[in-house]
């Protein structure tokens, strides 16, 4: 069986990038590869370089898992960096087009979304439309909270978001543009 793992963090980087969710994904994918399945992973929203366009690049294989990255995705991840553009979590045509081309190329039987950060909700529809059995594991609250953990200002449990008004004062990550520049510079130096 061909299985595709989807996560914002590159699978081969394990807990170093993406924490426990990525370590879980890595462990599961490696075990499934050892059991004879064909495993792929794709990440988006993490890798940025000096090119001005989004594209898919092959990453290093890791213990039987073939890895790919979408570079320069309009949706930066983790999700709280994308707080200025929350509608991109619902629809982001550039990433969706790349994702659909990738799905059509590898033809997975199963697509396992660990989250949609760096992708969009429509990517789930793309997997289904292309005949893939689809799983979405909810590892955090990103689908309902751009802060991700339902913690108001990272300190107290958010029990009432006041129809979104409280969300506007909750997040204060670096601006999107500064984070993209930081990542591009880090990639170039690396």
pLDDT digits (tens, 9 = 90+) for 135-157: 999 888 888 787 788 888 888 99
Q: Where is average pLDDT lowest: 41-50, 124-133, 179-188?
A: 179-188
Q: What is the pTM of this model?
A: 0.91
Calculate what percentage of the chain has a pLDDT beyond 70.
99
The DSSP secondary-structure symbol of 17 reads T
Distances (CA, A) of 117 to 23, 67, 138, 165: 16, 17, 11, 22
Residue 27 to residue 23: CA distance in whole angstroms = 6
pLDDT range class, residue 190, cuts 50, 70, 90: low
Residues 55, 71 contacting (CB under 8 angstroms): yes
Collapsing DSSP to helix, strand or coil, 39 comes out as: strand
Q: How many helices (H) and strands (E) does the chain have?
A: 5, 8
Distances (CA, A) of 41 to 3, 22, 30, 77: 8, 11, 11, 16
pLDDT digits (tens, 9 = 90+) for 6-20: 999 999 999 999 888
Helix, strand, coil tally for the chain in percent (to 5):
40, 20, 40
């Amino acid at each position: 069986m061909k299985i595709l793992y989807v996560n914002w963090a590159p699978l081969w980087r394990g807990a170093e990038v993406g924490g426990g969710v990525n370590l879980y994904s890595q462990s599961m994918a490696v075990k499934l590869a050892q059991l004879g399945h064909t495993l792929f992973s794709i990440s988006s929203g993490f890798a940025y370089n000096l090119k001005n366009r989004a594209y898919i690049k092959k990453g290093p294989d890791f213990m039987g898992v073939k890895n790919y990255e979408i570079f320069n995705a309009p949706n930066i991840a983790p999700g709280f960096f994308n707080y200025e553009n929350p509608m991109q979590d619902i629809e982001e045509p550039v990433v969706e087009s790349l994702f659909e081309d990738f799905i059509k190329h590898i033809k997975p039987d199963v697509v396992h979304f660990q989250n949609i950060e760096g992708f969009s909700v429509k990517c789930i529809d793309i997997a289904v439309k292309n005949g893939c059995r689809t799983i979405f594991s909810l590892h955090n609250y990103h689908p309902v909270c751009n802060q991700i953990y339902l913690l108001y200002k990272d300190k107290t449990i958010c029990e009432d978001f006041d129809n979104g008004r409280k969300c506007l004062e909750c997040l204060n990550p670096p601006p999107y543009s500064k984070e993209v520049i930081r990542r591009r510079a880090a990639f170039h130096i690396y």
